[in-house]
Structure 1
Amino acid sequence: MAEDLGDIDIDLDTNIIREWRSIVTLVVFVITNIIVLFPFHIPLYIPRAISNAILNALVALRVIGPRQKGSQYEAGLDNDRDEEKHGIARHFVRLRFPMNFVTAPLIADLFLLAILAIGREEVYGGTIGANHISPIDIMAFFITLAYIAISIDASGLIRYLAFKVLQKGGKFGHRLFFYLYAFFFSLGTFIGNDPIILSGTAFLAYMTRVSSNIVHPRAWIFAQFAVANIASAILVSSNPTNLVLAGAFNIRFIDYTANMIVPVVITAIVLFPFLLYIVFADETLIPLSIQMHELSEEAKAKKPVNPNIPHARGNAEEQEDGPSNSEQSKLLSLEEIMNPFLDKGGAAFGAVIMAATLITILAINAASQSTGEHPVFYVTLPAAFVMFCWDITFGWIHRGETRKIARDGRRDIERARAERLAREIQELEGMTSSHNPEQEQQSGGVDTQPSTSHSRSLDTKSQNQHDTTGGIRSRASLAGSNTDDEITIGAEKASIKLPSEEVQLHEGCPTSATNTPGGNQRPIHADSSTPSGGILSGDISEKSRIPFEREVDTEKQPRYSVSIHQENEKATLVSLTIDGYRWAQETFPTAAVVMSHLPFALVPFAFSMFVLVQALVTKGWVPVFAYGWNHWVNKTGTIGSVGGMGFLSVILCNFAGTNIGTTILLSRVIQAWQKIHQANNTPISNRTFWATVYSMALGVNYGAFSTAFSASLAGLLWRDILARKHIRVRRLDFARVNLPIITISMVVGCAILVGEVYIIRPTTAYDA
């Protein structure tokens, strides 16, 4: 489709690059992208007096709770031995400021604003829009459509369909690999790569875990990541990079799909045998016959658990998410994939909404003479609101059931942790008895006030034992304190204190915890009256004590419990926020999960990168790049433009602020290239221009699976999901495995694109 270049405002004067502000702008752009590629933290040292004053003020305002040594608010240097030796920790508090894909571009923009390298023009162009690229429209469209797609995923549809594919593929490894490959490609075409990565990655992690002869999940997870990003190149709506490109060159969505579908589909077809027989040609990766653990009939008959409800699986979540490869862990993983949860109503409604939205977008866009006449978020915003209302209504109707499931799950977790903690107490009492002859001489007596050192040791051991990485995540925070230990569970916190006077024996005479008549000991269990949301679940708003009980031959021995007290604290803004969020999770589980998975971090990143690229435009650097590109195309022609732009786009995905930043930058370069030919009255051929544009589209989508996780936000998401499932993918391994995949994909895609443009595109001048 032709485009009017008259309103594209790009100054082709390159003399401005000699100014110091232009040089600083380029340096800042390069440094920013390096930081995005290699994020880190900057230590900030604040005088302890100032830190204490701020924290005390927050406590007085009841924003946070009372300060305790070793708490999350005491961000001191107690664990930094080297700095303690130099006395730094006495006078300063260290904060770790993240430098990543969100903060680095924003700080870069603020710095350029401070030195007056950019101003209103760049900020306006990078947020509201300039030269047919409207960031605010693109972000609104992408976030609203993402809500619908992720809501479909939250309904369990993707995992359920993957389970059906698994059943169809059976135990034949190559057949199953093909079925999953085709399934992820087909689904990713319509709903994009993010939902596929959200659900598909976890599914494959479970599947390979419960197979006894898949030694490593490498083949399955890398193939899924590649095919999800390949599929996202077909529809404009599947990837924000496509939205940027379509907006920059006024490409109708139907035209974009018509030009991209053939190279993408053929890439997927050709890539599959390469993956199966060359890249992953190892039976330990893709066995001829997959030996899966069997799920019992009893487990199959269980009602599937809704993973959106917090603590829905109770203590099973902690066992399954532990790094152990035990049979119990495998059984829980097997239940997750062989008995998947499916909200049929939500899945059906979401599918209808998504289909109607995409069809409406394509119809309106195809009927428009300009994409600017009808912003596409006018369609997706109402659709997302309808989907949100469905999720809220469905959650409210079933709130009684979901709250009960969450409450029971918390109780199971508390009971299991109580048992573990009671066992620790029992072991410590046994150690005390064995090392204290005087105590052993007492007739069945037990020291009801263990030493403080025992309490400290217990705190530390129990914290390490409770540390998990899945659904409910516990992290022990010792921060230099051996007496008051803090357990963090998700966003919820609780302080467990075991001073000697709080460990007591109840109900009958004191009884030895280790020397029982007849040696009959039964497992310790929590009292059924244990309140939901107690201290061990990190509920800082609920009270007081959780009893533990141990049965030792109930006919002969009394029962006792160990009480752990929690200080009653007044409600604070933090505690109310935690309680409110938990209430939302339990009342509206689907909506809460979808909102937590929406790529909100993409919004500040994209806006900041738009502003940075706009700064390169106004400071003369984009025209410089455009002149260089013009020389390359004049030397190599159409084939060179396809190969060169494909190579550039893949490389820059890794070094220019992910594939989104690359799309923004290269779109500006191509626009400047158009302006150069317009100024010289030497029009670009129709064939060469569209070959350049669509080779960039291939490169920015395929570039996601190249050499760096940060080549796309989907890559960062993929890595984090695998890490939560205890599959660590190193940067070097990511690049090494993906190198042959991206090479094959780009060679095939670009070759098909060359043939396509030579067949359907004339050599006449591009009508600009």
Structure 2
Amino acid sequence: MEGLSMDQLLATDPHASVGSWKAILTLVLFFLSNVAVILPLRVPIPIVLLHIGHHILVLLRIVPDSHTPLKTRHVHLNFITVPLASVLLLLAAGVFDGKTLRDGIVGTSGIQPLNIMALFISLAYISISLDATGLFRFLAFWVASKGGSSGRKLFTYLYIFFLVSGVVVGNDPVILSGTAFLAYFTRVAGITPPTAWIFSQFAAANMASVVLVSSNPTNLVLSGAFSVSFLSYAAHVVLPFLAASVCVYPLLLVLFRARSSQLPQPPLIPKRIDIGLSQAEVRATLVDQRGAIFGSVLLLVTLGVLVGVSTIGVPVWEVTVPPAVIMLLRDLHYDWTTHRAKKCSSGPSPGQDDSESSIPPAEPRIQAHTGIDQEQHELREVSSRIPTSSGPELDLSSAVSLPVSLKATPAPPVTLLTLISPVVSRITKTFPTVTHIAERLPVALLPFAFLMFILVQGLSTLGWVELFARWWAAWIARTGVLGAVGGMGLLSCLFCNFCGTNIGATILLARVLQLWADAGDVDVDPRTRDGALYALALGSNFGAFTLTFSASLAGLLWRQILRQKGIHVRGQQFALVNAPISVVAMLVGCAVLVGEVYVEHRGE
């Protein structure tokens, strides 16, 4: 389909390619996959099927037999299961073939999903490992301490801090650590509800993620689809980002001051705040200073190399995977040395030899916070802290003291679960930091992204993307540069909410722009092309704080962390608070972008 001329694209009969049952079925399943992201469901499994399944697992020696009643289980129809079922159904129906799957995973037309996901998961590991050292928590408390007792000044400092952090490490690490930090901070400071603080952090993190290609997988999709270097990408979006962040700040003050004036509600941004933390307590939050320094240098060098080699065509995974492996090896070494030190310091218990000595749970990157009461100590367990408590375990050494009658009791049959559980438990105890980081990695993003790539590739193969490109070409023919920037900015923000998060929206709209921009014999105005491309970049990031939590995976993560901390944000509140923020951010960003493309391409 690539290579069509503009006239051919505009004259294409849409019903010629999308009227078949295969095309309609693909579009319907794509729509249902997006609905599952917005409205996930849980379907209970009939108890009869549960008993049959459990009996089969027992016969296969996978799980031990249990006489306790089975708990109710559910089938989750969510952002992974429904797209997966859609792809499998399309394969079974003969709609998709091997080439569609291959193009959706390996990539085509400049979009390389494997390359993108390798870069994303590598940088995610480095960022989360860096967070596990306590660095982000330490910096957040340090910034909070610099605000003194002024609520307005502290609000400003934290807003700037989240902007800077989001630029460097992306939105996900800021959401992971910053949300839990704010939940603790607002509770200790007596700020109820914490609306102003959590919403400003969410907007700042997602605005900042637009600056670097590596900060958001949507940026990676765009840079790969249009062969844009990291440096060129950042140069085009940094001014719209700065303008949007500057204009959003006074809006936040006005918005939350207006809300706080409705008595008897307490102020959302108090005039005075006393966080009650000494400098020693702030320093205690940095639990692995060497790891923080090592990880910071490694991350900055990696980002620098990414920008430097992006102009010479080096695959990005070759730049990011080796540093992630280095960080993993460092974490493994840290856990192993910590484990060995604790084992040696504990020594064997009386009556036990060295092989039976009890090993206390390792506490990597955690230090006691002296001078802080137990309640505050528990509240400060933000997402970067690693749980050290473990469930009760069977003490094998006590078996020697059991009565003979008990010793003669037949041992339960060996199952796969009983064989694996001790191994998993020992690995978790020996390498708790690595285990914790692995649990926090956005691994669920990988199958979701690949499935969306496959579905969009199917839409492209069956003619839907050609139809959408035809509509877009007709729109541009009537509206020009302003229509390209404004139209793509609006579409991308809306599609984030109704098209399988900002990732699904970016994949689909990037395909549309590719087909439109590559139309054969008529050159597309470079101002229009750049305007549409970078408006999509702004919308795919700013669209995360628009109408629904599911506009981004970061939004779903943000809501989950807040719920764990006892803070419940309703969907209606999310839309009402974010709507004016996203409108101002997009209007300002798009206005600056229009000026940029005219200045850059003046005289053309």
TM-score, scaled to structure 1: 0.68
Shift of 1:762: 3.7
Shift of 1:594: 1.1
Q: Distance in 1 between matches of 2:360 and 2:203?
A: 36
Q: Is the 8 A contact 1:230 1:264 kept in 2?
A: yes
Q: Is the 8 A contact 2:203 2:545 kept in 1?
A: yes
Q: Is the 8 A contact 1:402 1:586 kept in 2?
A: no
**Cα displacement string for residues 372-397 of structure 1 (whole angstroms, at most 9, x for unaligned residues):** xx210001111100000000001111
Shift of 1:62: 4.1
Letter aligned with residue 377 of structure 1:
W
Q: Is the 8 A contact 1:125 1:614 kept in 2?
A: yes
Q: Is the 8 A contact 1:687 1:762 kept in 2?
A: no
For the structure 1 residues 268 and 402, does the alpha-carbon distance in structure 2 shift closer, same or farther, using more than 3 Å as the test? farther
Q: Is the 8 A contact 1:155 1:342 kept in 2?
A: yes
For the structure 1 residues 153 and 407, does the alpha-carbon distance in structure 2 shift closer, same or farther, using more than 3 Å as the test? closer
For the structure 1 residues 470 and 363, does the alpha-carbon distance in structure 2 shift closer, same or farther, using more than 3 Å as the test? closer
Which residue is 2:552 aligned to? 712
Which residue is 1:43 aligned to? 44
Matches within 5 A, 1:188-337: 188-212=166-190, 214-281=191-258, 282=260, 284-292=267-275, 294=276
**Cα displacement string for residues 410-437 of structure 1 (whole angstroms, at most 9, x for unaligned residues):** xxxxxxxxxxxxxxxxxxxxxxxxxxxx
Which residue is 2:366 aligned to? none
**Cα displacement string for residues 22-62 of structure 1 (whole angstroms, at most 9, x for unaligned residues):** 111111111111111100022343645xx545424433554
Shift of 1:406: 5.5
Q: Distance in 2 between matches of 1:260 and 1:749?
A: 9
**Cα displacement string for residues 474-532 of structure 1 (whole angstroms, at most 9, x for unaligned residues):** xxxxxxxxxxxxxxxx999xxxxxxxxxxxxxxxxxxxxxxxxxxxxxxxxxxxxxxx9
| SS of match in other structure, 1:98 | strand
Q: Distance in 2 between matches of 1:408 and 1:602?
A: 30
Q: Distance in 2 between matches of 1:61 and 1:137?
A: 39
Q: Is the 8 A contact 1:13 1:620 kept in 2?
A: no
Q: Distance in 2 between matches of 1:749 and 1:234?
A: 12
Q: Distance in 2 between matches of 1:362 and 1:98?
A: 40
Q: Distance in 2 between matches of 1:42 and 1:632?
A: 43
Q: Distance in 1 between matches of 2:53 and 2:459?
A: 40
Which residue is 1:751 aligned to? 591
Which residue is 1:641 aligned to? 484
Letter aligned with residue 686 of structure 1:
P
For the structure 1 residues 27 and 470, does the alpha-carbon distance in structure 2 shift closer, same or farther, using more than 3 Å as the test? farther
Shift of 1:408: 9.5
Letter aligned with residue 479 of structure 2:
T
Q: Distance in 2 between matches of 1:53 and 1:267?
A: 57
**Cα displacement string for residues 226-282 of structure 1 (whole angstroms, at most 9, x for unaligned residues):** 101111100000100000000000001110001111110111111111111234542
Which residue is 2:572 aligned to? 732
Matches within 5 A, 1:132-151: 132-151=110-129
Which residue is 2:497 aligned to? 654
For the structure 1 residues 185 and 470, does the alpha-carbon distance in structure 2 shift closer, same or farther, using more than 3 Å as the test? closer
Shift of 1:7: 12
Which residue is 2:454 aligned to? 611
Q: Distance in 2 between matches of 1:232 and 1:683?
A: 32
For the structure 1 residues 571 and 361, does the alpha-carbon distance in structure 2 shift closer, same or farther, using more than 3 Å as the test? same
Shift of 1:568: 8.2
Which residue is 2:405 aligned to? none
Shift of 1:121: 2.4
Q: Distance in 1 between matches of 2:48 and 2:324?
A: 47
Shift of 1:760: 1.1
Q: Distance in 1 between matches of 2:395 and 2:102?
A: 46
Letter aligned with residue 350 of structure 1:
G
| SS of match in other structure, 2:270 | coil
Q: Is the 8 A contact 2:256 2:268 kept in 1?
A: no
For the structure 1 residues 402 and 176, does the alpha-carbon distance in structure 2 shift closer, same or farther, using more than 3 Å as the test? farther
Q: Which residue of 96, 99, 102 corresponds with 2:74?
A: 96
Aligned-CA RMSD value:
3.0
**Cα displacement string for residues 729-762 of structure 1 (whole angstroms, at most 9, x for unaligned residues):** 1111111111111111111111111111111124
Q: Is the 8 A contact 1:544 1:568 kept in 2?
A: no
Shift of 1:572: 4.3
**Unaligned 5+ residue runs, structure 1?**
77-94, 302-334, 410-467, 473-489, 493-531, 546-566
Q: Is the 8 A contact 1:541 1:575 kept in 2?
A: no
**Cα displacement string for residues 187-232 of structure 1 (whole angstroms, at most 9, x for unaligned residues):** 11111111111111110000000113x1211111111111011111
Q: Is the 8 A contact 2:338 2:362 kept in 1?
A: no
Q: Distance in 2 between matches of 1:694 and 1:20?
A: 35
Larger radius of gyration: 1
For the structure 1 residues 724 and 544, does the alpha-carbon distance in structure 2 shift closer, same or farther, using more than 3 Å as the test? farther
| SS of match in other structure, 2:274 | coil
Q: Is the 8 A contact 2:221 2:507 kept in 1?
A: yes
* More RCO (CA 8 Å, sep 6+): 2
For the structure 1 residues 53 and 34, does the alpha-carbon distance in structure 2 shift closer, same or farther, using more than 3 Å as the test? closer
Q: Is the 8 A contact 2:362 2:430 kept in 1?
A: no
Q: Which residue of 385, 396, 401 corresponds with 2:336?
A: 396
For the structure 1 residues 248 and 593, does the alpha-carbon distance in structure 2 shift closer, same or farther, using more than 3 Å as the test? same
Q: Distance in 2 between matches of 1:398 and 1:584?
A: 14
For the structure 1 residues 202 and 617, does the alpha-carbon distance in structure 2 shift closer, same or farther, using more than 3 Å as the test? same
Letter aligned with residue 552 of structure 2:
S
Q: Is the 8 A contact 2:184 2:379 kept in 1?
A: no
TM-score, scaled to structure 2: 0.85
Letter aligned with residue 191 of structure 1:
V
Q: Distance in 2 between matches of 1:338 and 1:740?
A: 38
Shift of 1:63: 2.5
Q: Is the 8 A contact 1:686 1:763 kept in 2?
A: no
Shift of 1:570: 6.5
The answer to whether structure 1 residue 363 and structure 2 residue 308 are counterparts is yes
Q: Distance in 1 between matches of 2:546 and 2:440?
A: 24
**Cα displacement string for residues 100-156 of structure 1 (whole angstroms, at most 9, x for unaligned residues):** 111111111111111112212211110011111011111111111111111111111
For the structure 1 residues 284 and 728, does the alpha-carbon distance in structure 2 shift closer, same or farther, using more than 3 Å as the test? same
Q: Is the 8 A contact 2:204 2:245 kept in 1?
A: yes
Q: Distance in 1 between matches of 2:395 and 2:545?
A: 45
Q: Distance in 2 between matches of 1:228 and 1:222?
A: 10
For the structure 1 residues 729 and 577, does the alpha-carbon distance in structure 2 shift closer, same or farther, using more than 3 Å as the test? farther
For the structure 1 residues 491 and 52, does the alpha-carbon distance in structure 2 shift closer, same or farther, using more than 3 Å as the test? farther
Which residue is 2:563 aligned to? 723
Letter aligned with residue 21 of structure 2:
W
Q: Distance in 1 between matches of 2:423 and 2:22?
A: 48
Matches within 5 A, 1:348-497: 348-366=293-311, 368=312, 371=313, 374-400=314-340, 407=361
For the structure 1 residues 25 and 407, does the alpha-carbon distance in structure 2 shift closer, same or farther, using more than 3 Å as the test? closer
Which residue is 2:530 aligned to? 690
| SS of match in other structure, 2:453 | helix
Letter aligned with residue 386 of structure 1:
I
| SS of match in other structure, 2:66 | coil
The number of aligned residues is 552
Greater share of residues in helix: 2
Shift of 1:577: 3.8
Q: Distance in 1 between matches of 2:563 and 2:493?
A: 25
Q: Is the 8 A contact 1:653 1:703 kept in 2?
A: yes
Q: Distance in 1 between matches of 2:123 and 2:104?
A: 22
Q: Is the 8 A contact 1:396 1:587 kept in 2?
A: yes
| SS of match in other structure, 1:64 | coil
Identity %: 44
Q: Which residue of 285, 288, 292 corresponds with 1:347?
A: 292
Q: Distance in 1 between matches of 2:120 and 2:44?
A: 35
Shift of 1:6: 6.4
Q: Is the 8 A contact 1:62 1:572 kept in 2?
A: yes
For the structure 1 residues 400 and 226, does the alpha-carbon distance in structure 2 shift closer, same or farther, using more than 3 Å as the test? same
For the structure 1 residues 140 and 407, does the alpha-carbon distance in structure 2 shift closer, same or farther, using more than 3 Å as the test? closer
